[in-house]
Amino acid sequence: MHESEKRCLESCSNNDPEEEPPGKRSISDDLEEEPPSRHSISAVLEEEPPSKIATTRYRLFGNIPDNVWDDWKWQFRNRITRVEQLAQFIPLSTGEQAQLRLVTMRYPLAVTPYYLSLINPDDPDDPIRKQAVPSAMEMTMGSMGVEDPLGEKEDTVVPGLVHRYPDRVLLVLTDICPMLCRHCTRKREWRNGGWVRSPAEIETMLDYISQHKAVRDVIISGGDPLTLSTRHLENIISRIREIKHIEIIRIGTRFPVVLPQRIDNELCSMLAKYGPIWLNTHFNHVREITPEAAKACDRLLRSGVPVNNQTVLLRGINDSVEAQTKLCHGLLKIKVRPYYLFQCDEVQGTEHLRTPVETGIKIIEGMRGHTSGLAIPTFVIDLPQGGGKVPLQPNYILAQTEGELVLRNYEERIFHYRNPTKLARPEMPAEVLCPAGSATARLPQEAAANSG
């Protein structure tokens, strides 16, 4: 564990005199299986039996008492960070281990025991595994893409503070995360070995926000800001709340997915004091929606913190209509709103996980009409060089004139839709508008047939 990560946890430990010392027991010693325990909230989850997850936990980690397993600091301290450790859980040949050691020299490894327990060790294509376990392709395709695809360095106005849009800023408090997701946009930070913003840097960021009255929305992100102790976070959040022109605070975190035990009562009570606070999290696959994750989201919601989800579209993980529909239905069942589906950024070391843009559009097209609009996220590309997010939709407008649109629906049926008269919108130009690529010779006949 890096020094700053230790400091991070030490600051938590100071708040918690009853904390257990780091457990260093051999996690593969005890192979006895115990019957899984079920949270009552698991009743809302039908897709994946939690028993399988719990069984893996007991198979891999032995009879660890629930109070230790559920202690997020224990989970954090016992993250799997070396290939040799990983090989105790997932079958890896000597050659594969050598390859992965090379990969981790550039792109380190960190997985929580909890997230590791969700992996099916017998399936090399397991969608959970692919998010957590390094791949040789991170190096073999490593020349493709760029380190900072979103141009965040250019928009950094003071250390740790990105100001791109007029009314909102991004506060990057640390580069430490509970898990290092193989598709991470900020993979470039991993080599910096873990840092937390100093008190002086935080003062500078708060000064900047105070002086910029157009800023009404502060996004706290990272790394993962919930790696900081609740007390440390409260110091920062309470200061932001004192700034009169700040309307909302948003927290970007993957803890509900990779270490949901972090979302404890202490944290939720603190967040409840400084609302409105919104939380964006990052579920990528329905199998991540475990009883523990559902409980974490439920706690947040009961504390008045709305939870939205931002999925990254990833090759071989969630790049199908079926995978996305299951995920979004699972999210709605735990009252988490599917917010964005991101095209995977062109980050160095992630090319093997990226999908063609058309895949995302086809997924949205395959969902629209077949499920509730509430279950359909907005598919977006975050443009390079700080261009911002652009939503992408299937094209439903086949032709358009001043008075009429020709539209197709999800069943490929064609409809004419009368636009309001010119009187209702005198500013509209009179020319005929045709979206690019929409003109088809068959249109008039099909439209006529349909209208008949």
Q: Which of 12, 57, 77, 184 is catalytic?
A: 184
CA-to-CA distance for 286 and 147, rounded, in angstroms?
29
Q: Is 268 known to be catalytic?
A: no
Indicate if 273 belongs to the active site.
Answer: no
Encoded tokens for 390:
């652009």
- Give catalytic status of residue 344 as yes or no: no
Q: How far is the CB of 191 from ligand SF4 (least distance, A)?
A: 13
Is the backbone of residue 352 left (phi > 0), alpha (psi -120 to 50) or beta? alpha
Task: Say whether 335 is catalytic.
Answer: no
Q: Which of 70, 389, 396, 434 is catalytic?
A: 389
Q: Which is nearer to ligand SF4, 12 or 181 (CB)?
A: 181
Closest contact distance (angstroms) between CB of 110 and ligand SF4 is: 8
Confirm whether 167 is a catalytic residue: no
365 versus 377: smaller Cβ distance to ligand SF4: 377
Dihedral of CA atoms 51, 57, 59, 60 in degrees, nearest 10, equals 160
Q: Where are the beta strands (DSSP E) in 253-369?
A: 277-281, 307-313, 337-343
Question: DSSP states of 116-145 as a string?
Answer: HTTS-TT-TT-HHHHHHS--THHHHTTTSS
Angstrom CA distances, 186 to 38, 138, 148, 332, stand at 35, 14, 7, 28
Residues that bind ligand SF4 (CB under 6 A): 177, 179-181, 184, 186, 222-224, 254
8 belongs to the catalytic site: no
Q: Which is nearer to ligand SF4, 78 or 280 (CB)?
A: 280
Selecting among 73, 77, 129, 186, the annotated active-site residue is 186
Query: Exactly one of 114, 115, 345, 354 is catalytic; which is it?
Result: 345
Q: CA dihedral defined by 34, 295, 268, 214, rounded to 10 degrees?
A: 140
Residue 368 catalytic?
no
**Is 389 in the active site?**
yes
Q: Is 197:148 a contact under the CB 8 Å cutoff?
A: no
Return the number of the residue (58 or 107) whose C-beta is nearest ligand SF4.
107
Q: How far is the CB of 222 from ligand SF4 (least distance, A)?
A: 6
Catalytic-labelled residue, pool 148, 175, 319, 382: 382
Cβ 152 to ligand SF4, closest distance in Å?
A: 12
- CA 335, 37, 272, 248 torsion-angle sign: negative
Least spacing, CB of residue 282 vs ligand SF4, in Å: 6
Nearer to ligand SF4, 365 or 382 (CB): 382
What is the closest distance, in whole angstroms, from the C-beta atom of residue 68 to ligand SF4 in the complex? 23
Residue found by looking up tokens 């409105």 in the block: 276
- Of the two residues 150 and 398, which places its CB atom closer to ligand SF4 in the complex? 150
Inter-residue contact 400 to 432 (CB < 8 Å): yes
Bond preceding residue 166 cis, omega within 30 of 0:
no
184 tagged catalytic: yes
List the catalytic residues.
164-165, 168, 177, 181, 184, 186, 345, 382, 389
